[in-house]
């Protein structure tokens, strides 16, 4: 059955959203993101406790990113081999165990080993999570459904990071890691209840393959996804440092600007899901959002007359970036059901490559000319991502 037939069948489905499944998926997305993102305010605490340098602890981001991307590429195969349900239940449970083991670790080596296992667990289920939700909604609902799932990642930035700082100040980093373990366990139980047993692939069901899934259009979309994550990562990783260098802000002074930045991400993701379902030309929506975000990056990093203006431009930049992502994710999901596990798993690999590219490019730009180079780079990447999306749009046969 080709993708066009799949979409016609899905459009005949009643527009009933599986809210319980979406809520469980959102919680799992939140747990996965918290396992890495919320480490940021605790870096010094971890370094002092384990008697290592802070940059060494910060390198856990790269370590877990590589593990996440590697496992994500295999997530589709695992769900084809064992069924989505077992992957979606076991992987968050493994994440919970690894977070608890990190909380009890006595050395940095142990933390690094368990963090790597946690990255493997996250990567193995995030793409499968998107594929499962996509399979239970009609095509015209996918933007909203996937937008809500992705909002779990945004809430990790909005709520998880300040919560980590608050809990960490009371119980230390180990107490917060145990808290994330509890959230991951709750996500596993929620998916146990909400993911139907039909998600376990019946014997004899046709499986997809990497070769069959990786059409020229899908490869183009994955390339656009890498560039989009580089664009987002440049700001997510370096925005706080940019404000500190430009306006000499203290850590306390960063709180409100980072809150505004996080709100822009959440609002953009939710509204982007609405647009993805109301404006059926999703790739055009994504292309326009990325082009606009490129111009806002130029303004953000080149023109900084005052803190309020820079904070407002940071909101606009991350809002526009998040606005287009649900359309991209819904476009990924518009493939035949047998290929969806593979394609959605590879989105995590693309995202990991993008995050690593953002860290490397950002560091190179800072060493060459400071943050002013981020503006032209962001514009170039935004326009390149937009061009890739428009190329994929021309190859869209659905």
Q: What angle do CA 7, 12, 16 make, to 5 degrees?
A: 105
Question: Can you give the pLDDT of all 398 residues of the chain as single tens digits?
Answer: 455 545 454 444 446 889 999 999 999 999 999 998 888 778 778 888 999 987 788 778 778 888 988 888 887 778 878 888 999 999 999 999 999 999 999 999 999 999 999 999 999 999 899 889 988 888 888 888 888 998 888 888 788 888 887 888 888 899 999 999 999 999 999 999 999 986 555 444 455 555 556 788 889 999 999 999 999 988 877 888 788 888 988 767 877 888 899 899 999 999 999 998 887 789 999 999 999 999 999 999 999 899 999 999 999 999 999 999 999 999 988 888 878 888 888 888 888 888 888 878 887 888 887 888 999 999 999 999 999 999 998 876 44
Q: How far apart are the first and last CA of the chain?
A: 13
Return the DSSP state at 206. Answer: P
The answer to whether the 18-199 and 210-394 domains have the same CATH topology is yes
CATH architecture for residues 210-394: Up-down Bundle (1.20)
Residues 6+ apart with CB under 8 A from 296: 313, 316, 317, 320
Tokens of 151: 């909002």
Cα 356 to Cα 121, 234, 379, distances in angstroms = 19, 10, 19
Tell me what pLDDT residue 69 has: 84
pTM for this entry: 0.79
- Please choose, from the candidates 29, 343, 388, 372, the residue with its C-alpha nearest in 3D space to the C-alpha of residue 186: 29
Domain ranges of the chain: 18-199, 210-394
pLDDT of residue 204: 41
The predicted structure's pLDDT at residue 187? 97
CB-based burial label for 113 (10 Å; 0-12, 13-18, 19+):
middle
**pLDDT value for 9:** 47
pLDDT recorded at residue 362: 84
Domain 18-199, second-level architecture: Up-down Bundle (1.20)
Quick check: helix, strand or coil at residue 109? helix
Written in H, E and C, the secondary structure of 115-167 is HHHHHHHHHHHHHHHHHHHHHCCCHHHHHHHHHHHHHHHHHHHHHHHHHHHHH
Q: What is the pLDDT of residue 115?
A: 94
DSSP code string of 244-309: HHHH---TGGGHHHHHHHHHHHHHHHHHHHHHHHHSS-HHHHHHHHHHHHHHHHHHHHH--S-HHH
Q: What is the pLDDT of residue 210?
A: 58
């Amino acid at each position: 059955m080709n993708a066009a037939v799949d979409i016609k069948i899905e459009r005949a489905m009643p527009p009933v959203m599986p809210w319980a499944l979406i809520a469980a998926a959102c919680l799992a997305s939140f747990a996965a993101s918290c396992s890495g993102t919320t480490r940021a305010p605790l870096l010094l605490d971890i370094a002092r406790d384990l008697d290592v340098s802070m940059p060494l602890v910060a390198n856990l981001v790269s370590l877990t990113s590589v593990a996440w991307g590697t496992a994500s590429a295999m997530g589709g195969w695992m769900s084809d081999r064992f069924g989505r349900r077992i992957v979606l239940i076991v992987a968050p449970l493994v994440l919970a165990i690894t977070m608890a083991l990190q909380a009890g670790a006595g050395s940095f080596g142990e933390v690094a080993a368990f963090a790597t296992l946690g990255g493997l667990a996250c990567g193995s289920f995030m793409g499968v999570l998107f594929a499962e939700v996509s399979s239970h909604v009609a095509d015209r609902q996918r933007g909203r459904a996937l937008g809500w799932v992705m909002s779990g990642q945004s809430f990790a930035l909005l709520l998880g990071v300040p919560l980590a700082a608050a809990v960490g100040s009371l119980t230390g980093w180990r107490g917060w890691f145990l808290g994330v373990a509890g959230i991951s366990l709750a996500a596993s139980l929620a998916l146990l209840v909400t993911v139907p047993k039909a998600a376990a692939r019946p014997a004899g069901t046709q499986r997809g393959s990497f070769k069959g899934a990786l059409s020229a259009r899908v490869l183009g979309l994955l390339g656009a996804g890498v560039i989009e994550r580089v664009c987002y990562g440049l700001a997510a990783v370096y925005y706080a440092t940019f404000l500190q260098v430009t306006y000499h802000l203290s850590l306390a002074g960063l709180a409100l600007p980072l809150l505004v930045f996080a709100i822009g991400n959440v609002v953009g993701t939710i509204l982007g899901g609405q647009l993805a379902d109301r404006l059926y030309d999703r790739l055009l929506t994504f292309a326009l959002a990325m082009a606009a975000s490129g111009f806002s990056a130029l303004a953000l990093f080149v023109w900084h007359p005052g803190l309020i203006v820079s904070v407002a431009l940071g909101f606009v930049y991350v809002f526009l970036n998040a606005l287009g992502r649900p359309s991209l994710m819904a476009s990924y999901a518009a493939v035949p059901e047998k290929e969806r596990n593979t394609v959605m798993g590879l989105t995590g690999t693309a995202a990991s490559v993008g995050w690593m590219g953002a860290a490397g490019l950002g560091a190179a730009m800072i060493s060459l000319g400071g943050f002013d180079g981020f503006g032209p780079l962001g514009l170039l990447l935004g326009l390149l991502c937009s061009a890739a999306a428009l190329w994929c749009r021309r190859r869209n046969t659905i």
